[in-house]
Amino acid sequence: MAVDYTVIVVYLAGMLAMGWWGMRRARSKSEFLVAGRRLGPAMYSGTMAAIVLGGASTIGGVGLGYRYGLSGAWMVFTIGLGLLALSVFFSARIARLKVYTVSEMLDLRYGDTRAARSASVEGGGGRRVGRAGLISGVVMWAYTLMLAVTSTIAYATIFDVLFDMNRTVAIVLGGAIVVAYSTLGGMWSITLTDMVQFVVKTIGVLLLLLPIAVVKAGGFSEMRAKLPTSYFDPLGIGGETIFTYVLIYTFGMLIGQDIWQRVFTARSDRTAKWGGTGAGTYCLVYALAGAVIGTAAKVLYPKLGSPDDAFATIVKDELPVGVRGLVLAAALAAVMSTSSGALIACATVANNDIWSRLRGVVRRGGEEHDEVKGNRVFILIMGVAVIGTAIALNNVVEALTVAYNLLVGGLLVPILGGLLWKRGTVQGALASVLVGGLAVIGLMAGYGILANEPVYYGLLASLAAYAVVSLATRPTDEAVLTVWRERLAGRSPELESEPVPAHQ
Protein backbone atom coordinates (compact mmCIF):
# COMPACT_ATOMS: atom_id res chain seq x y z
CA MET A 1 0.00 0.00 0.00
CA ALA A 2 3.02 2.31 0.33
CA VAL A 3 2.94 3.07 -3.39
CA ASP A 4 -0.81 3.82 -3.23
CA TYR A 5 -0.29 6.17 -0.28
CA THR A 6 2.47 7.96 -2.17
CA VAL A 7 0.21 8.51 -5.18
CA ILE A 8 -2.52 10.01 -2.99
CA VAL A 9 -0.15 12.24 -1.00
CA VAL A 10 1.48 13.57 -4.18
CA TYR A 11 -1.95 14.24 -5.63
CA LEU A 12 -3.13 16.18 -2.56
CA ALA A 13 0.10 18.17 -2.42
CA GLY A 14 -0.36 19.06 -6.08
CA MET A 15 -3.83 20.43 -5.36
CA LEU A 16 -2.43 22.77 -2.71
CA ALA A 17 0.40 23.88 -5.01
CA MET A 18 -2.10 24.81 -7.71
CA GLY A 19 -4.08 26.79 -5.17
CA TRP A 20 -0.97 28.81 -4.42
CA TRP A 21 -0.28 29.34 -8.13
CA GLY A 22 -3.86 30.41 -8.73
CA MET A 23 -3.58 33.03 -5.98
CA ARG A 24 -1.00 34.88 -8.10
CA ARG A 25 -3.51 35.24 -10.94
CA ALA A 26 -6.68 36.12 -9.01
CA ARG A 27 -6.22 39.88 -8.61
CA SER A 28 -9.72 41.12 -9.49
CA LYS A 29 -13.27 40.07 -8.75
CA SER A 30 -13.65 38.73 -12.29
CA GLU A 31 -10.42 36.72 -12.05
CA PHE A 32 -11.31 35.36 -8.60
CA LEU A 33 -14.94 34.38 -9.22
CA VAL A 34 -15.04 33.49 -12.94
CA ALA A 35 -11.37 33.08 -13.98
CA GLY A 36 -11.47 36.37 -15.85
CA ARG A 37 -14.03 34.90 -18.29
CA ARG A 38 -11.06 33.64 -20.31
CA LEU A 39 -11.27 29.84 -20.51
CA GLY A 40 -10.86 28.27 -23.94
CA PRO A 41 -12.77 25.20 -25.21
CA ALA A 42 -10.42 22.48 -23.89
CA MET A 43 -10.06 23.85 -20.38
CA TYR A 44 -13.73 24.88 -20.20
CA SER A 45 -14.89 21.42 -21.28
CA GLY A 46 -12.62 19.60 -18.82
CA THR A 47 -13.53 21.75 -15.84
CA MET A 48 -17.26 21.58 -16.61
CA ALA A 49 -17.13 17.78 -16.79
CA ALA A 50 -15.14 17.70 -13.55
CA ILE A 51 -17.65 19.71 -11.53
CA VAL A 52 -20.78 17.81 -12.60
CA LEU A 53 -19.22 14.36 -12.14
CA GLY A 54 -18.66 14.21 -8.41
CA GLY A 55 -18.70 11.53 -5.75
CA ALA A 56 -22.38 10.79 -6.35
CA SER A 57 -21.70 10.23 -10.05
CA THR A 58 -18.67 8.03 -9.39
CA ILE A 59 -19.27 6.09 -6.18
CA GLY A 60 -23.07 6.44 -6.41
CA GLY A 61 -23.13 5.64 -10.14
CA VAL A 62 -21.21 2.40 -9.57
CA GLY A 63 -23.58 1.62 -6.68
CA LEU A 64 -26.63 2.03 -8.92
CA GLY A 65 -24.99 -0.26 -11.48
CA TYR A 66 -24.47 -2.84 -8.74
CA ARG A 67 -28.13 -2.62 -7.74
CA TYR A 68 -29.87 -2.26 -11.11
CA GLY A 69 -27.35 -3.15 -13.81
CA LEU A 70 -26.93 -1.06 -16.94
CA SER A 71 -30.04 1.01 -16.21
CA GLY A 72 -28.19 2.32 -13.17
CA ALA A 73 -26.55 4.71 -15.63
CA TRP A 74 -29.69 6.85 -15.78
CA MET A 75 -28.86 9.15 -12.88
CA VAL A 76 -25.54 10.29 -14.36
CA PHE A 77 -27.01 10.07 -17.87
CA THR A 78 -29.66 12.66 -16.99
CA ILE A 79 -26.91 14.92 -15.63
CA GLY A 80 -25.23 14.67 -19.03
CA LEU A 81 -28.51 15.39 -20.81
CA GLY A 82 -29.02 18.48 -18.66
CA LEU A 83 -25.53 19.74 -19.45
CA LEU A 84 -26.12 19.15 -23.17
CA ALA A 85 -29.43 21.04 -23.05
CA LEU A 86 -27.83 23.93 -21.14
CA SER A 87 -24.92 24.11 -23.58
CA VAL A 88 -26.92 23.90 -26.81
CA PHE A 89 -29.90 26.09 -25.90
CA PHE A 90 -28.90 28.50 -23.12
CA SER A 91 -25.16 28.73 -22.41
CA ALA A 92 -24.32 31.28 -25.12
CA ARG A 93 -26.94 33.71 -23.80
CA ILE A 94 -25.92 33.08 -20.19
CA ALA A 95 -22.24 33.73 -20.96
CA ARG A 96 -23.04 37.03 -22.71
CA LEU A 97 -24.88 38.38 -19.64
CA LYS A 98 -21.55 39.03 -17.87
CA VAL A 99 -23.00 38.53 -14.38
CA TYR A 100 -21.73 36.49 -11.44
CA THR A 101 -24.84 34.79 -10.03
CA VAL A 102 -28.22 33.45 -11.08
CA SER A 103 -29.94 36.06 -8.90
CA GLU A 104 -28.15 38.85 -10.79
CA MET A 105 -29.59 37.40 -13.99
CA LEU A 106 -33.07 37.54 -12.43
CA ASP A 107 -32.43 41.13 -11.37
CA LEU A 108 -31.45 42.14 -14.89
CA ARG A 109 -34.36 40.37 -16.53
CA TYR A 110 -37.09 41.53 -14.17
CA GLY A 111 -35.83 45.01 -13.33
CA ASP A 112 -33.28 45.27 -10.52
CA THR A 113 -32.60 48.80 -9.28
CA ARG A 114 -29.03 48.73 -10.63
CA ALA A 115 -30.21 47.67 -14.07
CA ALA A 116 -32.99 50.23 -13.87
CA ARG A 117 -30.56 53.01 -13.06
CA SER A 118 -28.36 52.10 -16.01
CA ALA A 119 -31.43 52.36 -18.23
CA SER A 120 -32.56 55.65 -16.63
CA VAL A 121 -35.63 54.04 -15.13
CA GLU A 122 -36.72 55.58 -11.83
CA GLY A 123 -38.84 53.98 -9.13
CA GLY A 124 -41.38 51.26 -9.87
CA GLY A 125 -40.75 48.22 -7.75
CA GLY A 126 -37.08 48.38 -6.74
CA ARG A 127 -37.86 47.12 -3.24
CA ARG A 128 -39.94 44.28 -4.66
CA VAL A 129 -37.13 43.23 -7.00
CA GLY A 130 -34.56 43.30 -4.21
CA ARG A 131 -36.79 41.00 -2.19
CA ALA A 132 -37.19 38.58 -5.10
CA GLY A 133 -33.44 38.54 -5.65
CA LEU A 134 -32.82 37.95 -1.94
CA ILE A 135 -35.29 35.04 -1.79
CA SER A 136 -33.84 33.40 -4.89
CA GLY A 137 -30.38 33.90 -3.41
CA VAL A 138 -31.36 32.15 -0.17
CA VAL A 139 -32.79 29.17 -2.08
CA MET A 140 -29.67 28.93 -4.26
CA TRP A 141 -27.41 29.27 -1.23
CA ALA A 142 -29.17 26.36 0.53
CA TYR A 143 -28.75 24.20 -2.58
CA THR A 144 -25.04 24.96 -3.06
CA LEU A 145 -24.34 24.56 0.66
CA MET A 146 -25.88 21.08 0.78
CA LEU A 147 -24.13 20.10 -2.46
CA ALA A 148 -20.80 21.06 -0.88
CA VAL A 149 -21.71 19.24 2.35
CA THR A 150 -22.60 15.96 0.66
CA SER A 151 -19.40 16.05 -1.39
CA THR A 152 -17.37 16.73 1.73
CA ILE A 153 -18.92 13.78 3.56
CA ALA A 154 -17.74 11.52 0.73
CA TYR A 155 -14.13 12.10 1.86
CA ALA A 156 -14.90 9.88 4.83
CA THR A 157 -15.61 6.91 2.54
CA ILE A 158 -12.45 7.35 0.48
CA PHE A 159 -10.05 8.03 3.36
CA ASP A 160 -11.53 5.09 5.26
CA VAL A 161 -10.54 2.80 2.38
CA LEU A 162 -7.09 4.40 2.15
CA PHE A 163 -6.06 4.89 5.75
CA ASP A 164 -8.81 3.35 7.94
CA MET A 165 -9.33 6.92 9.18
CA ASN A 166 -11.91 8.23 11.64
CA ARG A 167 -14.92 9.81 9.88
CA THR A 168 -14.53 13.25 11.46
CA VAL A 169 -10.79 13.39 10.81
CA ALA A 170 -11.34 12.36 7.18
CA ILE A 171 -13.95 15.09 6.63
CA VAL A 172 -11.72 17.74 8.22
CA LEU A 173 -8.65 16.66 6.23
CA GLY A 174 -10.38 16.50 2.85
CA GLY A 175 -12.45 19.60 3.49
CA ALA A 176 -9.45 21.62 4.69
CA ILE A 177 -7.53 20.91 1.47
CA VAL A 178 -10.45 22.02 -0.72
CA VAL A 179 -11.08 25.12 1.40
CA ALA A 180 -7.38 26.00 1.29
CA TYR A 181 -6.89 25.97 -2.47
CA SER A 182 -10.32 27.50 -3.13
CA THR A 183 -9.68 30.37 -0.71
CA LEU A 184 -6.21 31.05 -2.07
CA GLY A 185 -6.92 31.35 -5.77
CA GLY A 186 -10.70 31.25 -6.22
CA MET A 187 -11.89 30.08 -9.61
CA TRP A 188 -8.39 30.06 -11.11
CA SER A 189 -7.19 27.54 -8.51
CA ILE A 190 -10.37 25.51 -8.87
CA THR A 191 -10.06 25.52 -12.68
CA LEU A 192 -6.46 24.31 -12.59
CA THR A 193 -7.19 21.59 -10.04
CA ASP A 194 -10.30 20.55 -11.94
CA MET A 195 -8.28 20.01 -15.12
CA VAL A 196 -5.95 17.68 -13.22
CA GLN A 197 -8.94 15.98 -11.64
CA PHE A 198 -10.56 15.53 -15.06
CA VAL A 199 -7.43 13.81 -16.41
CA VAL A 200 -7.07 11.63 -13.30
CA LYS A 201 -10.75 10.58 -13.47
CA THR A 202 -10.50 9.76 -17.16
CA ILE A 203 -7.42 7.59 -16.68
CA GLY A 204 -8.47 6.06 -13.37
CA VAL A 205 -12.13 5.24 -14.08
CA LEU A 206 -12.51 4.98 -17.87
CA LEU A 207 -9.12 3.65 -18.96
CA LEU A 208 -8.16 1.49 -15.96
CA LEU A 209 -11.03 0.49 -13.68
CA LEU A 210 -13.61 -0.13 -16.44
CA PRO A 211 -11.66 -2.66 -18.52
CA ILE A 212 -10.12 -4.34 -15.46
CA ALA A 213 -13.54 -4.79 -13.83
CA VAL A 214 -15.04 -6.31 -16.99
CA VAL A 215 -12.10 -8.71 -17.43
CA LYS A 216 -12.15 -9.76 -13.76
CA ALA A 217 -15.90 -10.48 -14.06
CA GLY A 218 -15.24 -12.80 -17.02
CA GLY A 219 -16.35 -10.47 -19.80
CA PHE A 220 -19.86 -9.49 -20.88
CA SER A 221 -20.85 -13.04 -21.78
CA GLU A 222 -20.08 -14.25 -18.26
CA MET A 223 -21.84 -11.27 -16.75
CA ARG A 224 -24.97 -12.06 -18.79
CA ALA A 225 -24.83 -15.71 -17.73
CA LYS A 226 -24.58 -14.95 -14.01
CA LEU A 227 -27.01 -12.04 -13.64
CA PRO A 228 -30.79 -11.68 -14.17
CA THR A 229 -31.89 -10.31 -17.54
CA SER A 230 -33.20 -7.20 -15.76
CA TYR A 231 -29.57 -6.15 -15.29
CA PHE A 232 -29.32 -5.61 -19.04
CA ASP A 233 -32.70 -3.91 -19.51
CA PRO A 234 -32.13 -0.20 -20.34
CA LEU A 235 -35.32 0.70 -18.42
CA GLY A 236 -34.86 -1.78 -15.59
CA ILE A 237 -34.56 0.94 -12.95
CA GLY A 238 -38.16 1.99 -13.65
CA GLY A 239 -39.84 4.69 -15.72
CA GLU A 240 -40.95 6.78 -12.73
CA THR A 241 -37.41 6.83 -11.35
CA ILE A 242 -36.03 7.95 -14.71
CA PHE A 243 -38.67 10.70 -14.94
CA THR A 244 -37.75 11.92 -11.45
CA TYR A 245 -34.06 11.95 -12.37
CA VAL A 246 -34.90 14.10 -15.40
CA LEU A 247 -36.86 16.59 -13.28
CA ILE A 248 -34.23 16.85 -10.56
CA TYR A 249 -30.91 16.45 -12.36
CA THR A 250 -31.57 17.46 -15.97
CA PHE A 251 -33.49 20.57 -14.97
CA GLY A 252 -31.16 21.13 -12.01
CA MET A 253 -28.24 21.38 -14.46
CA LEU A 254 -30.07 24.22 -16.23
CA ILE A 255 -30.29 26.53 -13.23
CA GLY A 256 -27.66 25.65 -10.59
CA GLN A 257 -25.30 28.44 -9.51
CA ASP A 258 -22.36 25.99 -9.48
CA ILE A 259 -22.99 25.21 -13.17
CA TRP A 260 -23.75 28.78 -14.26
CA GLN A 261 -20.60 30.05 -12.58
CA ARG A 262 -18.61 27.74 -14.86
CA VAL A 263 -20.51 29.02 -17.88
CA PHE A 264 -19.45 32.54 -16.86
CA THR A 265 -15.78 31.46 -17.19
CA ALA A 266 -16.04 30.85 -20.97
CA ARG A 267 -14.17 33.36 -23.10
CA SER A 268 -16.90 33.38 -25.75
CA ASP A 269 -20.43 32.14 -26.31
CA ARG A 270 -19.04 29.67 -28.86
CA THR A 271 -16.74 28.22 -26.18
CA ALA A 272 -19.67 27.90 -23.77
CA LYS A 273 -21.78 26.11 -26.37
CA TRP A 274 -19.32 23.66 -27.89
CA GLY A 275 -17.12 23.16 -24.83
CA GLY A 276 -20.21 22.36 -22.79
CA THR A 277 -21.47 20.00 -25.48
CA GLY A 278 -18.19 18.10 -25.27
CA ALA A 279 -18.48 17.91 -21.47
CA GLY A 280 -22.09 16.68 -21.70
CA THR A 281 -21.11 13.95 -24.15
CA TYR A 282 -18.30 12.88 -21.81
CA CYS A 283 -20.88 12.60 -19.00
CA LEU A 284 -22.94 10.14 -21.06
CA VAL A 285 -19.87 7.93 -21.52
CA TYR A 286 -19.00 8.20 -17.83
CA ALA A 287 -22.56 7.21 -16.89
CA LEU A 288 -22.39 3.99 -18.88
CA ALA A 289 -18.90 3.20 -17.56
CA GLY A 290 -20.07 3.49 -13.93
CA ALA A 291 -23.04 1.21 -14.54
CA VAL A 292 -20.85 -1.42 -16.24
CA ILE A 293 -18.33 -1.32 -13.37
CA GLY A 294 -21.17 -1.77 -10.88
CA THR A 295 -22.60 -4.67 -12.90
CA ALA A 296 -19.19 -6.35 -12.92
CA ALA A 297 -18.93 -5.82 -9.15
CA LYS A 298 -22.28 -7.63 -8.73
CA VAL A 299 -20.79 -10.68 -10.44
CA LEU A 300 -17.65 -10.56 -8.29
CA TYR A 301 -19.33 -9.68 -4.96
CA PRO A 302 -23.00 -10.69 -5.10
CA LYS A 303 -23.71 -10.08 -1.39
CA LEU A 304 -22.25 -6.72 -0.44
CA GLY A 305 -23.89 -5.02 2.54
CA SER A 306 -24.53 -1.80 0.59
CA PRO A 307 -24.46 -1.06 -3.16
CA ASP A 308 -22.37 2.04 -2.40
CA ASP A 309 -19.59 -0.26 -1.16
CA ALA A 310 -19.16 -1.66 -4.67
CA PHE A 311 -16.69 0.96 -5.87
CA ALA A 312 -14.38 0.76 -2.86
CA THR A 313 -14.54 -3.04 -2.74
CA ILE A 314 -13.64 -3.66 -6.37
CA VAL A 315 -10.84 -1.10 -6.22
CA LYS A 316 -9.41 -2.52 -3.00
CA ASP A 317 -9.59 -6.20 -3.97
CA GLU A 318 -9.10 -6.35 -7.73
CA LEU A 319 -6.61 -3.66 -8.72
CA PRO A 320 -2.82 -3.99 -8.53
CA VAL A 321 -0.66 -1.75 -6.36
CA GLY A 322 -0.14 1.69 -7.89
CA VAL A 323 -3.17 1.37 -10.13
CA ARG A 324 -5.29 1.13 -6.99
CA GLY A 325 -3.81 4.40 -5.73
CA LEU A 326 -4.49 6.12 -9.04
CA VAL A 327 -8.12 4.96 -9.14
CA LEU A 328 -8.68 6.04 -5.53
CA ALA A 329 -7.13 9.37 -6.49
CA ALA A 330 -9.70 9.47 -9.30
CA ALA A 331 -12.51 9.00 -6.77
CA LEU A 332 -10.96 11.70 -4.61
CA ALA A 333 -10.72 13.94 -7.68
CA ALA A 334 -14.41 13.42 -8.43
CA VAL A 335 -15.37 14.43 -4.91
CA MET A 336 -13.01 17.41 -4.74
CA SER A 337 -14.09 18.88 -8.07
CA THR A 338 -17.76 18.97 -7.06
CA SER A 339 -16.96 20.12 -3.54
CA SER A 340 -14.77 23.04 -4.62
CA GLY A 341 -17.23 24.13 -7.34
CA ALA A 342 -20.14 24.04 -4.90
CA LEU A 343 -18.08 25.86 -2.26
CA ILE A 344 -17.18 28.85 -4.43
CA ALA A 345 -20.78 28.99 -5.72
CA CYS A 346 -22.09 28.96 -2.14
CA ALA A 347 -19.70 31.74 -1.09
CA THR A 348 -20.45 33.82 -4.19
CA VAL A 349 -24.19 33.67 -3.54
CA ALA A 350 -23.77 34.33 0.19
CA ASN A 351 -21.63 37.41 -0.43
CA ASN A 352 -23.13 38.90 -3.60
CA ASP A 353 -26.80 37.93 -3.34
CA ILE A 354 -27.49 37.79 0.40
CA TRP A 355 -24.96 39.72 2.49
CA SER A 356 -24.61 42.70 0.14
CA ARG A 357 -28.43 43.03 -0.08
CA LEU A 358 -28.98 42.70 3.66
CA ARG A 359 -26.46 45.38 4.54
CA GLY A 360 -27.66 47.61 1.67
CA VAL A 361 -24.22 48.40 0.27
CA VAL A 362 -24.13 51.63 -1.76
CA ARG A 363 -20.75 52.39 -3.28
CA ARG A 364 -19.52 55.96 -3.42
CA GLY A 365 -17.30 57.37 -6.11
CA GLY A 366 -13.94 57.22 -4.28
CA GLU A 367 -14.68 54.30 -1.99
CA GLU A 368 -12.05 51.57 -1.85
CA HIS A 369 -13.45 48.07 -1.73
CA ASP A 370 -11.27 44.96 -1.92
CA GLU A 371 -13.74 42.53 -3.52
CA VAL A 372 -11.20 39.73 -3.88
CA LYS A 373 -10.47 39.84 -0.15
CA GLY A 374 -14.21 39.94 0.65
CA ASN A 375 -14.98 36.90 -1.52
CA ARG A 376 -11.94 35.07 -0.13
CA VAL A 377 -13.24 35.63 3.42
CA PHE A 378 -16.65 34.29 2.43
CA ILE A 379 -15.14 31.14 0.92
CA LEU A 380 -13.28 30.54 4.19
CA ILE A 381 -16.43 31.13 6.27
CA MET A 382 -18.59 28.92 4.07
CA GLY A 383 -15.87 26.27 4.03
CA VAL A 384 -15.82 26.09 7.81
CA ALA A 385 -19.65 25.92 7.81
CA VAL A 386 -19.58 23.11 5.23
CA ILE A 387 -17.08 21.05 7.23
CA GLY A 388 -19.03 21.57 10.47
CA THR A 389 -22.34 20.64 8.84
CA ALA A 390 -20.78 17.56 7.20
CA ILE A 391 -19.53 16.33 10.58
CA ALA A 392 -22.94 16.86 12.23
CA LEU A 393 -25.12 15.52 9.41
CA ASN A 394 -26.18 11.89 9.16
CA ASN A 395 -28.86 11.57 6.47
CA VAL A 396 -27.13 13.06 3.44
CA VAL A 397 -29.65 11.81 0.88
CA GLU A 398 -32.56 13.57 2.58
CA ALA A 399 -30.63 16.83 2.91
CA LEU A 400 -29.62 16.85 -0.75
CA THR A 401 -33.15 15.92 -1.82
CA VAL A 402 -34.54 18.93 0.08
CA ALA A 403 -32.01 21.20 -1.64
CA TYR A 404 -32.75 19.89 -5.15
CA ASN A 405 -36.52 19.97 -4.59
CA LEU A 406 -36.35 23.62 -3.49
CA LEU A 407 -34.03 24.50 -6.37
CA VAL A 408 -36.18 22.96 -9.09
CA GLY A 409 -39.58 23.66 -7.49
CA GLY A 410 -38.76 27.27 -6.62
CA LEU A 411 -36.33 28.58 -9.24
CA LEU A 412 -36.68 26.60 -12.47
CA VAL A 413 -39.79 28.41 -13.72
CA PRO A 414 -38.75 32.05 -13.09
CA ILE A 415 -35.26 31.42 -14.53
CA LEU A 416 -36.33 29.64 -17.71
CA GLY A 417 -39.39 31.88 -17.94
CA GLY A 418 -37.15 34.92 -17.89
CA LEU A 419 -35.02 33.49 -20.69
CA LEU A 420 -37.92 32.31 -22.85
CA TRP A 421 -41.04 34.42 -22.13
CA LYS A 422 -41.08 38.20 -22.59
CA ARG A 423 -44.38 38.59 -20.71
CA GLY A 424 -42.99 37.28 -17.41
CA THR A 425 -42.93 39.96 -14.69
CA VAL A 426 -41.15 40.49 -11.40
CA GLN A 427 -44.41 39.87 -9.52
CA GLY A 428 -44.83 36.59 -11.38
CA ALA A 429 -41.24 35.59 -10.62
CA LEU A 430 -41.64 36.36 -6.91
CA ALA A 431 -44.95 34.48 -6.76
CA SER A 432 -43.36 31.53 -8.56
CA VAL A 433 -40.46 31.30 -6.10
CA LEU A 434 -42.69 31.61 -3.04
CA VAL A 435 -45.53 29.33 -4.19
CA GLY A 436 -43.21 26.69 -5.63
CA GLY A 437 -40.91 26.72 -2.60
CA LEU A 438 -43.72 26.59 -0.05
CA ALA A 439 -45.54 23.88 -2.02
CA VAL A 440 -42.41 21.73 -2.06
CA ILE A 441 -41.89 22.17 1.69
CA GLY A 442 -45.53 21.38 2.48
CA LEU A 443 -45.62 18.35 0.20
CA MET A 444 -42.38 16.98 1.66
CA ALA A 445 -43.95 17.26 5.09
CA GLY A 446 -47.01 15.38 3.85
CA TYR A 447 -45.57 12.77 1.47
CA GLY A 448 -42.08 12.41 2.95
CA ILE A 449 -38.78 13.97 1.95
CA LEU A 450 -37.81 11.20 -0.47
CA ALA A 451 -41.19 11.03 -2.23
CA ASN A 452 -41.51 12.07 -5.89
CA GLU A 453 -44.73 14.06 -5.47
CA PRO A 454 -43.19 17.21 -3.88
CA VAL A 455 -41.10 18.10 -6.91
CA TYR A 456 -43.88 17.11 -9.36
CA TYR A 457 -46.63 19.21 -7.80
CA GLY A 458 -44.32 21.94 -6.55
CA LEU A 459 -43.11 22.55 -10.09
CA LEU A 460 -46.68 22.69 -11.42
CA ALA A 461 -47.67 25.15 -8.67
CA SER A 462 -44.67 27.32 -9.48
CA LEU A 463 -45.55 27.35 -13.18
CA ALA A 464 -49.19 28.21 -12.51
CA ALA A 465 -48.27 31.06 -10.16
CA TYR A 466 -45.77 32.49 -12.62
CA ALA A 467 -48.17 32.46 -15.56
CA VAL A 468 -51.25 33.74 -13.70
CA VAL A 469 -49.53 36.52 -11.77
CA SER A 470 -47.43 37.65 -14.76
CA LEU A 471 -50.53 37.94 -16.95
CA ALA A 472 -52.43 39.74 -14.17
CA THR A 473 -49.74 42.41 -13.65
CA ARG A 474 -48.25 45.12 -15.84
CA PRO A 475 -45.61 43.97 -18.33
CA THR A 476 -41.97 44.59 -17.48
CA ASP A 477 -40.89 48.14 -18.37
CA GLU A 478 -39.59 48.31 -21.94
CA ALA A 479 -36.45 50.14 -20.79
CA VAL A 480 -35.58 47.21 -18.52
CA LEU A 481 -36.15 44.76 -21.37
CA THR A 482 -33.92 46.89 -23.59
CA VAL A 483 -31.08 46.57 -21.07
CA TRP A 484 -31.78 42.82 -20.90
CA ARG A 485 -31.66 42.42 -24.69
CA GLU A 486 -28.43 44.41 -24.88
CA ARG A 487 -26.89 42.05 -22.33
CA LEU A 488 -28.16 38.95 -24.14
CA ALA A 489 -26.65 40.26 -27.36
CA GLY A 490 -23.30 40.79 -25.63
CA ARG A 491 -23.26 44.53 -26.28
CA SER A 492 -22.93 45.65 -22.65
CA PRO A 493 -19.99 45.33 -20.24
CA GLU A 494 -20.29 44.06 -16.70
CA LEU A 495 -22.21 46.13 -14.16
CA GLU A 496 -20.76 49.61 -13.71
CA SER A 497 -19.80 48.79 -10.14
CA GLU A 498 -17.92 45.70 -11.32
CA PRO A 499 -15.59 46.84 -14.13
CA VAL A 500 -13.77 44.40 -16.38
CA PRO A 501 -10.03 44.38 -15.59
CA ALA A 502 -8.05 46.46 -18.07
CA HIS A 503 -6.01 43.54 -19.44
CA GLN A 504 -9.17 41.85 -20.72
User: What confidence tens digit (pLDDT) does each residue in 409-446 have?
Assistant: 889 999 999 999 999 999 999 999 999 989 999 999 99
CA–CA dist 282, 338 (Å, integer): 16
Percent of the chain with pLDDT over 90: 37
**Whether the Cβ atoms of residue 410 and residue 454 lie closer than 8 Å to each other:** no
Q: What is the pLDDT of residues 208-244, one digit of tens each?
A: 999 999 999 999 999 999 999 999 999 999 998 999 8
pLDDT (average), residues 292-307: 91
- Range in 3-12, 60-69, 471-480, 483-492 with the lowest mean pLDDT: 3-12
CA–CA dist 122, 107 (Å, integer): 15
Residue 494 makes CB contacts below 8 A (sequence gap 6+) with 30, 98, 99, 500
Let me know how long the chain is: 504
CA–CA dist 90, 153 (Å, integer): 32
DSSP designation for 313: H
Higher pLDDT, 24 or 303: 303
pLDDT (average), residues 160-167: 74
pLDDT (average), residues 81-106: 90
Question: What domains can you pick out in the chain, each with its CATH number?
Answer: 1-357 (1.20.1730.10), 396-488 (no CATH)
pLDDT (average), residues 185-193: 83
pLDDT value at 121 more than 60? no
CA–CA dist 415, 93 (Å, integer): 13
- Residue 119's pLDDT band, with cuts at 50, 70 and 90, is very low
Higher pLDDT, 8 or 288: 288
pLDDT value at 368 more than 60? no
pLDDT value at 137 more than 60? yes
- Residue 53's pLDDT band, with cuts at 50, 70 and 90, is confident
Percent of the chain with pLDDT over 70: 88
Alpha-carbon dihedral sign for residues 32, 34, 39, 43? positive
DSSP designation for 27: -
- Range in 324-328, 364-368, 466-470 with the lowest mean pLDDT: 364-368
pLDDT (average), residues 243-263: 90
CB atoms within 10 A of CB 22: 24
CA–CA dist 30, 372 (Å, integer): 9
CA–CA dist 281, 149 (Å, integer): 27
The DSSP line for 458-486 is HHHHHHHHHHHHHHHSPPPPHHHHHHHHH
- Cα maximum dimension of the chain: 75
| Alpha-carbon distances, residue 475 vs 122, 174, 414, 469, 471 (angstroms) | 16, 49, 15, 11, 8
CA–CA dist 383, 372 (Å, integer): 16
SS3 call for 366: coil
pLDDT in the model for residue 331:
79
CA–CA dist 439, 457 (Å, integer): 8
Torsion of CA 397, 402, 403, 407, to 10 degrees: 140
**Whether the Cβ atoms of residue 504 and residue 36 lie closer than 8 Å to each other:** yes
pLDDT in the model for residue 461:
95
pLDDT, the chain, mean: 83
pLDDT in the model for residue 360:
63
CA–CA dist 243, 250 (Å, integer): 10
pLDDT (average), residues 270-288: 95
pLDDT (average), residues 278-306: 93
pLDDT value at 502 more than 70? no
SS3 call for 501: coil
pLDDT in the model for residue 118:
39
